[in-house]
Amino acid sequence: MHQVAAIQMISSTDVQANLTRAAELIAEAAAQGARVLLLPECFAVFGTADLTRVAEEEISGAKPIQRFLAEQARHHAVWLIGGSIPLPREPGKKAMAACLVFDEQGREVARYDKLHLFDVEVADNQRSYQESRDYDYGDQVVCIDTPVGRVGLSICYDLRFAELYLALSRAGAELIVVPSAFTAVTGAAHWDVLLRARAIETQCYILAANQGGLHPGGRETFGHSCLIDPWGVIQQVIAKGEGVVCGALDLDYLKSVRGRMPVAQHRRFAAADTIVPAAKESEHHE
């Protein structure tokens, strides 16, 4: 069995303060034996109006957040999944919400750009969210091999789109990560049920790292970072506040679940496919 960890934060607009706190929590997770660590969405910069400057630093400047992730992965000899950071594909382009993965030697081994952007109305203090004003859409499904198994990447609002998770399952995912900044309102209504549904329908482990409390400026996030098994059982969870959720992946158990209920073999819809209608009775006699 392999240990994995989700890190829950309450990030602010102060990049350096966020990185300092993330380093403390990464050390805590590594000390518990986790080999793959997941940071939440917007772990390094949350709610800032200066997103463009941060993104420019990451694409053509000193790259402080990327350097931090590489150094932390190398220092603790862990695989580190960096939640999301604002990172354009090219200088001068609009930022993507990018999830970067670094191996135990501090090498970037994968990048996933958030596919679904959060343009919604929510009954909270902020009222309206328009991620597409600040970010461009990703266009690729990303699944990678790691020391704990094959890992599928997603971010926050992606959770509402089952077709992405089924695509990750078809790509061989055994663990799917969900770095998030789910609001308190939407989280209370849908967080647990969506995470459990994605685990059940894909028969994968789900590791979700959420922001978890009241942020400067009044925005509140739901927390409840967790590890869910392929049967949909919540194995570990932390409610509110900052901290670490650490748990084990049992790939033999995953194979057992899939073997006893082989839903992947039973599925009659594939991506973008439709079921061919059954022939009418009269057609059998033509």
Query: How is the chain split among helix, strand and coil, in percent rounded to 5?
Result: 35, 30, 40
Q: Return d(Cα 168, Cα 146) in angstroms, integer.
A: 15
What is the per-residue pLDDT for 123?
67
Residue 156 a catalytic site member: yes
Tell me the average pLDDT of the chain: 91
Q: Which pLDDT band holds residue 281 (cuts at 50, 70, 90)?
A: very low
What is the per-residue pLDDT for 251?
97
Superfamily the domain 2-272 falls into: Carbon-nitrogen hydrolase (3.60.110.10)
The answer to whether the beta carbons of residues 184 and 124 sit under 8 Å apart is yes
Residue 114 a catalytic site member: yes
Q: Return d(Cα 151, Cα 142) in angstroms, integer.
A: 9
Write the DSSP string, 58-80: HHHS--HHHHHHHHHHHHHT-EE
Token pair for residue 283? 């057609």
Rounded mean pLDDT of 141-161? 97
Catalytic residue chosen out of the listed positions 42, 58, 99, 114: 114
What are the E-state strand segments in the chain? 2-8, 36-38, 79-81, 85-88, 95-102, 108-113, 119-121, 128-130, 135-136, 143-146, 149-153, 175-180, 205-210, 225-228, 234-238, 243-249
**Stated length of the chain:** 286
pLDDT in tens, 220-275: 999 999 999 999 999 999 999 999 999 999 999 999 999 999 999 998 876 544 44
Catalytic residue chosen out of the listed positions 41, 58, 174, 220: 41
Element containing residue 202 per DSSP (H, E): helix 192-202
* Residue of 203, 104, 99 whose CA lies nearest to 143: 99
Residue 94 a catalytic site member: no
User: What are the domain boundaries of the chain?
Assistant: 2-272
Catalytic residue chosen out of the listed positions 156, 204, 226, 246: 156
pLDDT in tens, 17-69: 999 999 999 999 999 999 999 999 999 999 876 888 999 999 988 999 999 99
pLDDT in tens, 71-126: 999 999 999 999 999 999 998 889 999 999 999 999 999 999 999 997 777 767 66
Rg of the chain in Å (alpha carbons): 19
